[in-house]
Copies of this chain bind each other. A is one copy, B any other.
Amino acid sequence: MKVVIPLFPRFTALDAVGPYEVLSRLPDASVTFVAATRDAVSADTGALTLLPGATFADVDACDILVVPGGPGTRSLTTDEELLGWVRRMSAVARWTTSVCTGSLVLAAAGLLDGLDATTHWAARDLLESLGARYSNERVVVRGTVITAAGVSSGIDMALALAGLVAGHPVAEAIQLSIEYDPQPPYDSGSVAKARPSTVELVRSLAKRRTEGAGTT
């Protein structure tokens, strides 16, 4: 089970590492982080840097494609070289997936035209402007395309996918191996649950964090 996760400057680390941590535990899985070159790739904070294991040119097939999000996705939506690679990978993959604003890349590649899909809550309009139909489910499975909501939702997405590819017992074992029995100390993880003041605070913190570039 070959899992490929593209990296790009200013990706959001948990978008990529959540699914990696789950899918790498599938029996006989191999996960490869792929980027334009073999140079290190820094996440949106600048504080986390991953070394890719291969370049886009090296990789021409996979079973599972996972496109993470992050502020860096914005420029990818007009990067024809990258979008071409995403289309070619998706054409041969069994599963095409995204986390957070990774779905903007799938949409820009034309893979979500008229399809129900999700993204980070703050990028809903952008996703729709690229041709997808926004769904507010946390994990949206439509045929062989799976999109997940913001950042942490990639863990839920990957567990659902693990069940689809390896069966429920294996997915349950993976959940136990990462002790995923979530107990958030607050209940503000979605726009539906959060107070309006919390939504406003997210926007102002995001501005400080990335100097106006957005953190989604």
Residues of A within 8 A of B (CB): 12-14, 17-18, 20-21, 24-25, 27, 30-33, 40, 45, 47-51, 53, 100, 120-121, 138-139, 149-153, 155-156, 159-160, 163, 168-186, 188-191, 193-195, 197-199, 201-202, 205-206, 208-209, 215
Contacts and interface: CB of A to CB of B under 8 A. Distances in A.
A21 B31 contact: no
Contact of A177 (B27, B155, B202): B202
A168 B174 CA distance: 32
B209 A190 contact: no
Given A47-B53, A50-B50, A205-B27, A156 B176 contact: no
Integer count of this chain's copies in the complex: 2
B182 A169 contact: no
Contacts of A179: 100, 120-121, 149-153, 189-190
B182 A155 contact: yes
A148 to B, nearest CB: 9
A172 B190 contact: no
B25 A209 contact: yes
Contact of A180 (B20, B151, B191): B151
A40 B37 CA distance: 16
A170 B178 CA distance: 27
B181 A175 contact: no
Contacts of A18: 14
A13 to B, nearest CB: 5
A139 to B, nearest CB: 7
Contact of A17 (B13, B121, B170, B215): B13
